[in-house]
Amino acid sequence: MIARTPTPPYYAVIFTSLRTEVEEGYKDTATLMVELAQAQPGYLGVEPARDGVGITVSYWESLEAIRNWKQQADHLIAQQLGREKWYEQYKTRICLVERDYGFDKE
């Protein structure tokens, strides 16, 4: 599903990853992270995809909202588990969305 974002400006956090073979706890933690992010002030939406390389783009109102999410207690634990168990490699990029446009058949 494509996230319904407000009129720019807003921020995008692009998390790109390569997984390990370890599955234990990953799906439950990923589901929990989405639920917790949705409850964070400043959260606007998310668009995940995985086909070999995983890409998750989350959208935020401000850099402060992103910093607060990065420091959320359960998210800190998930970040540590990701480094220890679930990811071979990852990269996080934070971008200012200055313009967006699209098409919706409906």
First-last CA distance in the chain: 14
106 pLDDT band (50/70/90 cuts)? confident
Domain count, the chain: 1
Sign of CA dihedral 50, 10, 103, 105: positive
- Residue 72, in any domain of the structure: yes
Average pLDDT over residues 84-89: 97
- Residue 1, in any domain of the structure: no
Q: How far apart are CA 47 and CA 12, in angstroms?
A: 10
- Residue 3, in any domain of the structure: no
Residue of 102, 99, 105 lying closest to 4 (CA atoms) = 102
Question: What pLDDT is attached to residue 25?
Answer: 97
26 pLDDT band (50/70/90 cuts)? very high
- Residue 84, in any domain of the structure: yes
Average pLDDT over residues 65-84: 97
